[in-house]
A and B are shown apart, each in its own frame.
Chain A
Amino acid sequence: MTSVTHTGRFRRLAASVAFCLLTAALLTYTGDVLKPPRTGASNGAIWSTFTKLEPDSIDVLFLGNSHTFTGVDPATLWRTSGIPSFVNAGPTQKLAVTNYYLRESLRSQHPSVVAVEMSSLSYPRLKFDQAFHDININYMPWSAEKIAAGIMATPLNESVGALLDLWTYHGRWPDIRRSDFNLLEKDRGGEYLNGFSPRTKPKAVPETPHTIAPDAIAKTNRSLEYNLESLRQIAATCDERGIELLLFLTPTGPPNDYSYQLGRVGATLMAEFDNVHVLDLSEPGAVPGLSYTDDFFDGGHLVYTGAEKSSAVLAKYLADTYGLKDRRGDSAYANWSEAVELRDAFVQRHKEAPKEK
């Protein structure tokens, strides 16, 4: 009698566990189907493209926010100095999340240099753009880093949206297409851009003198304290793995507070770590030939021509400072020249398109 009861209990327990696993699998699959496709040509958070890279195939990994994926062009780095690189940045990405992007990226890549764009230093601790924050975490591959980003770098009440795709994207069901069910193919395309999101329609940026209001400095200082902690963790991770860390700024239209912030944080980290360098391309004149009329599409973001100019400076700096090898002619990197051609054709198509995507 007792053994029957025990057997019955065990069967019920097994059935309950099986039911929960089936439910979890169905919900995960449904979330994957409903999640919008994110190809290599999307605006950042393109993990599906990053994970397709050959392991240990890049020398420089760029991290940061939208300034990074619009302002750094790996094709120019290749063309200028033969440096293979990738931009693994996300829209409005906080440095706390960038910290987990770095850790996750280092699972498959071991770059010589990690370059973190620093305009996100001004992001306050408590202010979150939920949609962008969710994108940045939703598209990470499932890992301890993703879970940590969803919990440690996210306000408690937004963790669910950051970690559960279905929670965030289930409202997309009326727009679902057959291609959404093809999970292996839905995020394909644009791999040759290597994380660059080229903009092609410039808009003039007003050239006003650069001034910083005292209250802006006070506000900035509070954000800096919070972000400095994430940067320390990023620097420590790089230090442990023998990776150089470059803190840099892409060019921005004046006025901006970025140089002031980078100066403060850069000095602090350089004093604490040996592997940290600072490069400020937002200072007027830092990028030769940069035009505030033709090379920006808003005060913080470059169009592809600005990205090319700025990336050429970056390429020279990286090659000179870190002695990175010119990989052109290396048979292991034969497909990089092809990628550059595809990237050029992509930019040409977008230039001719009537509207920016």
Chain B
Amino acid sequence: MQFTSVEYLAFLALSVMVYFALPGTKSRTIWLLIASYVFYISLSARWTLALFGITAVGYVFGLLIERSGPASRGAAIPRRTRRLLAVGIILVAGTLFFFKYAAFSATLLNGALSLVGTSARTPVLTLALPIGISFWTFQSIAYLVDIARGKLVAERNPLRFALFVSFFPQVAAGPIARGGHLLPQLAEKHSFSYERMRSALLLMAWGFLKKLLIADPLGVMVRTVFDKPHAFGSDGVLLIGAAVAFSIQIYCDFSAYTDLARGAARLFGVDLMKNFDRPYAARSIKEFWRRWHMTLMAWLKDYIYIPLGGSRVAAWRRYANILAVFLLSGLWHGAGLTFVVWGLLNGLYQILGDVLAPARAKALAAFRIDRDGHVHRTLQTLTTFSLITIAWVFFRANTLGDALYILPRMLNFGPSALWHPGTLELGLSVPQMQVTAIATVIVFSAEWLSARVSLPALLYRQPLVVRWFVYEFTILAIAIFGYYGPMFSAADFAYFKF
């Protein structure tokens, strides 16, 4: 059941109707839990046991850790609690490692063994990844740590805790919720609200627009180039175009998923955490990572970076911490060298940005450049986008070799097929490319505007005719120009595989 399928929409509508028809929080929790498991089974029936297992571990260890005695305010976690926490984390992270990294580790080990000339080999166990495992394992780890730190009371109600782990709008690809934020909302009885429904549906429509009009069509073009980079090696402009297209695709895909997830949750009265804040408007790599996949970066900051010492340590330790965080971020996204390099490159960007900050400040002063002037800000934004786009090449390339083939060839400037789109065989017709381009301009313009004014609020203030025109226009644009149905091969959300 894809998020963009009619089956999902029917399932969601039914879930919402039954939810509000039920009288109490208990029956609603049971209903949402049933719906969540039905949804998960439709996505990944084979590994539902893994979800059950993580739920059981999280629930039991949450109670055990609390009983053992969490840290008092500001103090360290008691030793016995720390041991219990370690066991809980090992069980949860071990499940993640088993499914996601066992094959990758065995491959690396075999490579090392062959380098030293040994014929011994570790068996490589290739398993299908349970959908969303990286999200719900991280969510469960955060839950355990928060209890141990004394920031959260363990959930007594096993059904509510199971719903916390498997809540269907977010089980496949986040946002990574925190117990303190989501559990109280799941315990609350939400009454039906017209305004909330309207804002939820608007958010979902926005997600559909980004996914079906931008991400999926761009994905076809990106796939054509990245799956056969050697066919396009002489056309640097086209390679740059493909890399930029991927930057837009990955943002529209993941943020669309987040909008659909947050919209669906809002229908039940639950507000999930924000995951994106116009990341490509960032003026530095550091700022980009504060705006991109915010719940993951907050998780890495709270549970990795700060425990490692954060910024309150010597510069070299801080840089090592940054690299560790980004290495983990890369590995979290995928068990592969391309993801490792992508993560490390982002870490290096951040360290270089830090190291070069004084020199940059001196240069700005020397040339009397206004730090907050339009030109400087635009240049910073463009530079950040370019650096991020270069890093995305590693993220998207099928192999490290492909990425290293593509990057230098981006400088092969010359006559490019990109200027003659009619001759391009990238899987999209020229009218489809034009619609995608128009939709991209609309989405990014709207997001730029949204920093200055609340667009939904502005829309709600308009007369009925204007509002309905906007709604119907959006629905028809998605229905007509969307990349779905039998003439197209609809793609899953990219982050479902993480």
Interface residues of B in 393-441 (CB under 8 A from A): 429, 431-432
Given contacts A167-B485, A174-B432, contact A30 B472 (CB under 8 A): no
The answer to whether the Cβ of B486 comes within 8 Å of any Cβ in the partner chain is: yes
CB contacts (< 8 Å) of B486 on chain A: these are 130-131, 134, 161, 167-168
Given contacts A22-B468, A22-B472, contact A171 B431 (CB under 8 A): no
Question: When the two chains form the complex, which single residue of B7, B471, B479 contacts A27, counting CB atoms closer than 8 Å?
Answer: B479
**What's the Cα separation between A147 and B61 when bound, in Å?**
52
**Does B194 have its Cβ within 8 Å of any Cβ on chain A?**
yes
User: Nearest chain-A residue to B5 (Cβ)?
Assistant: A160
A192 vs chain B, min Cβ distance (A): 32
CB-based contact A12/B194 at 8 Å: yes
Per the bound structure, the CA–CA distance linking A169 and B6 in Å amounts to 16
Q: Give residues of chain A (155-187) contacting chain B, Cβ–Cβ below 8 Å.
A: 157, 160-161, 164, 166-174
Tell whether B451 is near chain A: CB-to-CB under 8 Å: no
A19 touches B468 (CB 8 A): yes
Closest CB of chain B to A9's CB: distance in Å? 8
A313 smallest CB distance to B (angstroms) = 39
Contact check, A170 vs B471: say whether CB atoms are below 8 A apart.
no
| Complex CA–CA separation, A160 to B10 (angstroms) | 11
B453 within 8 A of A: no
Residues of B within 8 A of A171 (CB): 485, 487-488
A34 within 8 A of B: yes
* Inter-chain contacts of B429 with A (CB < 8 A): 174
- Say yes or no: A160 contacts B468, CB within 8 Å: no
B 442-497 contacts with A by CB, 8 A: 464, 468, 471-472, 475-476, 479-482, 484-488
Q: Report, as a range, how many residues of chain A touch the other chain.
A: 20 to 34
**Residues of chain B lying within 8 A (CB to CB) of residue A166:** 479-480
Contact check, B6 vs A167: say whether CB atoms are below 8 A apart: yes
Interface string of A127-146 (1 = CB under 8 A from B): 00011001000000000000
Q: How large is the interface on B (under 10, 10 to 19, 20 to 34, 35 or more residues)?
A: 20 to 34
Give complex CA distance A169, B194 in Å. Answer: 34
Tell me which residues across on chain B come within 8 A of A161, comparing CB atoms.
485-486
A239 CB to closest chain B CB, in angstroms?
37
Residues of B close to A172: CB separation below 8 A: 487
**Once the chains are docked, how many angstroms separate the CA of A136 from the CA of B476?**
25
Q: Report the minimal beta-carbon distance from B472 to chain A, rounded to whole angstroms.
A: 6
Query: When the two chains form the complex, which single residue of B6, B431, B468, B482 contacts A170, counting CB atoms closer than 8 Å?
Result: B482
A26 within 8 A of B: yes
Whole-angstrom distance between the Cβ of A158 and the nearest chain B Cβ: 8
A174 touching B431 in the complex, CB below 8 Å, given contacts A131-B486, A160-B6: yes
Beyond contacts A19-B471, A171-B488, A173-B480: 6 other A-B pairs, Cβ-Cβ < 8 A, are: A27-B475, A134-B486, A157-B7, A166-B479, A170-B487, A173-B481
Can you list 29 residue pairs at the A/B interface with Cβ under 8 Å?
A19-B471, A22-B468, A22-B472, A23-B472, A26-B472, A26-B476, A27-B475, A27-B476, A27-B479, A30-B476, A30-B479, A30-B480, A160-B6, A164-B6, A166-B479, A166-B480, A167-B6, A167-B484, A167-B485, A168-B485, A168-B487, A170-B480, A170-B481, A170-B482, A170-B487, A171-B485, A171-B487, A171-B488, A172-B487
